[in-house]
Amino acid sequence: MTANLSALFYLISGILFILALRGLSSPETSRQGNYFGIAGMAIAIIVTFLSVGNFGEGFIYVIVFLIIGGSIGAFIAFRIPMTAMPELVAGFHSLVGLAAVFVAISAFLKPEAFGLGNIGNIKLASLIEMSLGAAIGAITFSGSIIAFLKLRGIMSGSPITFKGQHIINLFLGLMIIGLIFYLCISQSNNIFWSIVMISFLIGILLIIPIGGADMPVVISMLNSYSGWAAAGIGFTLENTALIITGALVGSSGAILSYIMCKGMNRSFFNVILGGWGATDQSSNTKSKEQKPVKSGNADDAAFLMKNASSVIIVPGYGMAVAQAQHALREMVDALKKNGVKVSYAIHPVAGRMPGHMNVLLAEANVPYDEVFELEEINNDFANCDVAYVIGANDVTNPVAKSDPQSPIYGMPVLDVEKSKSVLFVKRSLSSGYAGIDNDLFYRDNTLMLFSDAKKMTEEIVKSL
Amino acid sequence: MEIDPFIFRLSIFILSIFVGYYVVWSVTPSLHTPLMSVTNAISSVIIVGAIIAALAGSSEKIFETSNIFGFLAIVLAAVNIFGGFLVTQRMLQMYKKKKK
């Protein structure tokens, strides 16, 4: 296959990838979009085989390894529970990152196979592209591993900070740039390996200071990095499909990070430079005295909701932890039978990754047209009889609107307190991730339901 | 004067960033998780580089160092391609409209 013809086919697969993302604009077109993506990938792989044109023994090994990887991937895809989606995505990011590193290493060791020159005499542009690709890939890999360990609970989700952290990161970052310059002059193997190793280290250092609830930003950011790494390799290999895909994925991740940061009213750097837990000092200690709290049981809750005309459900990360989505759907079904109008309100940063709650609700067969985003539904709380808060906390805290001293001041929150009564399912009165007390607990129209999210919901179903 | 092919690739890259920007803003927020898993899958098109790396060189020596890195990258990218597309498919199957 000539180089021109294969370049055209790579362009086609790039376009199919664009269509794959375009399909996600609505759930109806999304499945078709996914098929476009698969077709694009198939074209890219077949064209590569034809243009390399080496169908000897090596080709058989390629197929074997492809099948090994493919079966592992398929096995994971079918077995993974939907609640584990954040760590799965983090794990997958790490694989893209490592694959980019391996391809860059291979290109460095055997540049003639890629048409980049000879060992010790690699083209300058290629050298810069491949070392950037390798560096970003390595950061993606080790960063995603840390994110994976934190999400999986193997590593503590609380931020790990130490003195001089940011200065070390800055120093290492500058060192990589310096080494890339030096690599261009010396073409030395050792320099190349040092760049890869230091990048691994940066990835780790970059993610350990970030706390659990900031994970939506981290995952989106690593998503973006994996794209830029792919683009870097795309420039090295002079491959259009890779360049297009890298740019798409890179900008996609960047936009998601932006949306997540906006959902928390924080700047990107504020998130990257360390967790909330460290900066909080004021509101936590002063108001720990006993304020009156109304608490109730499942029967009270069932009575309230049965007699309501409209109920809004506010799910959060706690629902995912307790796996309460199926019980929740049963409860809603029972309410609907009683003629109650039910909808769901999702905060942009609810859960551990963008869209986390939507997937869990979809898994529990909740129709997606009953699920609303913050801006769509926030005005409806004023007209709603009961708000059922399950596993969410900070995203409902009215302090964000009233107290300029609060660390979460200015963050968009769901106006839960405006509904006639609030049912708040929570195990205790402890504060949320941000480490601040939720004013909502002490309001007259709030009824606390102290229990596990799943257990409480199941009990309510029984008494309905 | 002839234009360096690098400039062409850079143009493609920058235009693709713009395409990505507009396409991703049109993605509905409820599908952000599938968006992440599908971008994951498509970024594994890096397998193209892995295949070239694995098949580079003479047919007598299939497992030179550079080839081995290629083969490893093939396995990693293949996990991602199959895993990414299938898990996206599985998620998208679950999004259903209200039965009227």
DSSP B7-47: HHHHHHHHHHHHHHHHHHHTS-GGGHHHHHHHHHHHHGGGH
* A195, containing H or E segment: helix A189-207
Residues 14-53 of A with CB under 8 A from B: 14, 17-18, 20-22, 24-27, 30-31, 33-34, 37-38, 40-41, 44-45, 48-49, 52
A279 pLDDT tier (thresholds 50, 70, 90) = very low
Question: What's the pLDDT tens digit per position in A85-103?
Answer: 999 999 999 999 999 999 9
Which residue is closest to A252 within chain B, CA to CA? Answer: B24
Q: What is the pLDDT, as a whole number, of residue A387?
A: 92
pTM, whole model, 2 decimals?
Answer: 0.90
Which residue is closest to B26 within chain A, CA to CA? Answer: A25
A58: pLDDT strictly greater than 60: yes
Q: CB-based contacts of B34: which residues, under 8 Å, 6+ apart?
A: A24, A30, A355, A359, B88, B91, B92
What whole-number distance in Å separates Cα of residue A268 and Cα of residue A206?
13
Residues of A in contact with B81 (CB under 8 A): 41, 69-70, 73
Are the C-beta atoms of residues A220 and B36 closer than 8 Å to each other? yes
What whole-number distance in Å separates Cα of residue A381 and Cα of residue B12?
47
The reply to whether residue A77 touches residue B82, judged by beta carbons under 8 angstroms, is yes
Q: What is the pLDDT, as a whole number, of residue A281?
A: 40
What whole-number distance in Å separates Cα of residue A268 and Cα of residue A290?
37
Residues of A in contact with B42 (CB under 8 A): 17, 20, 37, 40-41, 245, 248-249
Q: Which residue's entry shows tokens 């990257």?
A: A272
> Would an 8 Å CB–CB cutoff place A244 in contact with chain B?
yes
Of B34, B52, B95, the CB nearest to A114: B52
What whole-number distance in Å separates Cα of residue A131 and Cα of residue A108?
9
The reply to whether residue A49 touches residue B51, judged by beta carbons under 8 angstroms, is yes
A278: pLDDT strictly greater than 50: no
Q: CB-based contacts of A393: which residues, under 8 Å, 6+ apart?
A: A316, A318, A426, A431, A432, A433, A438
Taking the CA of residue B80 and the nearest CA in chain A, the distance in Å comes to: 6
A51: pLDDT strictly greater than 60: yes
Tokens in use for A214?
A: 């900031």
E strands present in A87-230: 117-118, 121-122
Of the listed ranges A150-164, A218-232, A291-305, B22-36, the one predicted with least confidence = A150-164
Can you tell me whether residue B72 is helix, strand or coil? helix
Interior/surface letters A307-329, b for 16+ CB within 10 angstroms, e for the rest: ebebbbbbbbbbbbbbebbbbbb
What whole-number distance in Å separates Cα of residue A448 and Cα of residue A430?
12
Half-sphere exposure of B75 (CA within 13 A, CB side): 11
Q: What is the mean pLDDT of residues A443-461?
A: 88
C-alpha closest to that of A396 among A328, A278, A315? A315
Strand pairing class (A341-346; A371-373) = parallel
Chains A, B: CB pairs < 8 Å: 372
Of A99, A220, A358, the CB nearest to B44: A99
> Would an 8 Å CB–CB cutoff place A114 in contact with chain B?
yes
Q: Which of A280, A300, A394, A403 is catalytic?
A: A394
Of A69, A88, A358, the CB nearest to B77: A69
Can you tell me whether residue A122 is helix, strand or coil? strand
The reply to whether residue A70 touches residue B79, judged by beta carbons under 8 angstroms, is yes
Q: Considering Cα of B84, then B87, then B91, then B92, what sign does the dihedral take? A: positive
Q: What is the pLDDT, as a whole number, of residue A95?
A: 95
A286: pLDDT strictly greater than 60: no
Higher pLDDT, A339 or A120: A339
Which residue is closest to B4 within chain A, CA to CA? Answer: A125
Distance set, CA A403 to CA A411, A423, A437, A438 (Å): 11, 23, 12, 12
Identity of the highest mean pLDDT range in A109-113, A364-368, B2-6: A364-368
Residue of A25, A95, A235, A244 to mutate, interface with B, max B Cβ within 10 Å:
A95
> Would an 8 Å CB–CB cutoff place A68 in contact with chain B?
yes
- Main-chain dihedrals φ then ψ at residue A264, nearest 5 degrees: -110, 5
Q: What is the mean pLDDT of residues A28-40?
A: 94
> Would an 8 Å CB–CB cutoff place A13 in contact with chain B?
yes
Q: Provide the angle, in degrees to the nearest 10, between the axes of the packed helices A240-263 and A215-237.
A: 160
Q: What is the mean pLDDT of chain A?
A: 88
Are the C-beta atoms of residues A245 and A14 closer than 8 Å to each other? yes
> Would an 8 Å CB–CB cutoff place B55 in contact with chain A?
yes
Q: What is the pLDDT, as a whole number, of residue A212?
A: 74
Distance set, CA A224 to CA A119, A249, A290 (Å): 31, 6, 46
Residues 20-49 of B with CB under 8 A from A: 20-21, 23-49
Tokens in use for A333?
A: 């079904």
What would you report as the CA-atom Rg of chain A, rounded to the nearest whole angstrom? 25
Strand pairing class (A117-118; A121-122) = antiparallel
Q: Is A380 a catalytic residue?
A: no
Distance set, CA A394 to CA A182, A388, B11 (Å): 48, 15, 44
What whole-number distance in Å separates Cα of residue A196 and Cα of residue A37?
31
How far apart, in Å, do the first and last CA atoms of chain A sit? Answer: 68
C-alpha closest to that of A368 among B28, B27, B24, B36? B28
The reply to whether residue B95 touches residue A371, judged by beta carbons under 8 angstroms, is no
* A158, containing H or E segment: none
A287: pLDDT strictly greater than 80: no
Q: What is the mean pLDDT of chain B?
A: 90
* A368: DSSP letter: G
Question: A310 - beta bridge partners?
Answer: A341
C-alpha closest to that of B48 among B67, B70, B63, B16? B70
**Do the interacting molecules here have an ipTM over 0.85?**
yes
Q: What is the pLDDT, as a whole number, of residue B65?
A: 85
What whole-number distance in Å separates Cα of residue A276 and Cα of residue B86?
36
